[in-house]
Amino acid sequence: MLKIKEFNKIIVANWKLNGSNDFLEAYFEKLALKDIDSDICGIICPPITYFQNCYSKLNSLYLGAQDCSKFKDGAYTGEISASMLRENNCIFCIVGHSERRQVFKENNEDIKIKAAQLLDEKIVPIICIGETLEQKKMHKTHEVLKEQVINSLPPNSSKESVVIAYEPIWAIGTGITPTLEEINNIHKYLKKDIKEIEEYKLLYGGSVNPKNASDIMSLENVDGVLVGGSSLKADQFSEILKA
């Protein structure tokens, strides 16, 4: 398993349901990986069909998936297992993204099973948690995050093997972010007050772009970022990798 503790920052590109062969060619031609510090862990999570093409172009970056099946094998049409991901050079895998939780009705138990399957295959799960705007307005952020974390963590989880991504749902794809103080405080709460994830690598996600990436990543309790929209623009993602 990759030694995640050795990295200073972890920066994840979540392409979601985007890409094409032409997009890939143009993207990697434009992506500037030259001046990226060696202690930065850059990860590209494309749709699975582009795994091999991406892998051949990654250079120092790592390959990640956006999801995996909670089943190992069997009659589950359309599913892709953790072992299949491992056989295809996958090092990281996002699980429990809010789009999976909301659109595909995944719950904490599903996410816990997926994360356990990934750990069995020596793939690092990136477990996403985050509150809705309604929950934030009702001052339930801490309570919601704690409940998600505790119930999504597999029993074989450790700070060396699992990454957590805090992604306020209201900040994803909206161009709106919490203040720097809010991000740092929530990360502090997660890292210091929830014993189960003490000292885990903790990423922030939600409308990260080249303008705000440096400030966000300078925060004491932030170990990196998970990027959606801006990761689809090679020049913007290059800037974030260097932020």
Q: How far is the CB of 130 from ligand PEP (least distance, A)?
A: 9
Binding site for ligand PEP (CB under 6 A): 14, 97, 167, 172-173, 205-208, 226-230
Q: Where are the beta strands (DSSP E) in the chain?
A: 9-14, 40-45, 62-65, 92-95, 124-129, 163-166, 201-205, 224-227
**Token pair of 237 as six digits:** 């993602």
Q: How far is the CB of 195 from ligand PEP (least distance, A)?
A: 26
Choose between 184 and 207: whose C-beta lies nearer to ligand PEP. Answer: 207
Cα three-residue angle 102-164-215, rounded to 5 degrees: 100
Choose between 117 and 207: whose C-beta lies nearer to ligand PEP. Answer: 207
Sign of the torsion angle spanned by Cα atoms 193, 198, 199, 200: negative
Q: What are phi and psi of 98, to 5 degrees?
A: -60, -25
**Helix (H/G/I), strand (E/B), else coil: 111:** helix
Choose between 14 and 157: whose C-beta lies nearer to ligand PEP. Answer: 14
From 97, 106, 121, 131, the catalytic residue: 97
- Answer yes or no: 134 catalytic: no
- Answer yes or no: 97 catalytic: yes
Q: How far is the CB of 94 from ligand PEP (least distance, A)?
A: 8
From 106, 131, 167, 187, the catalytic residue: 167
Which residues are annotated as catalytic?
97, 167
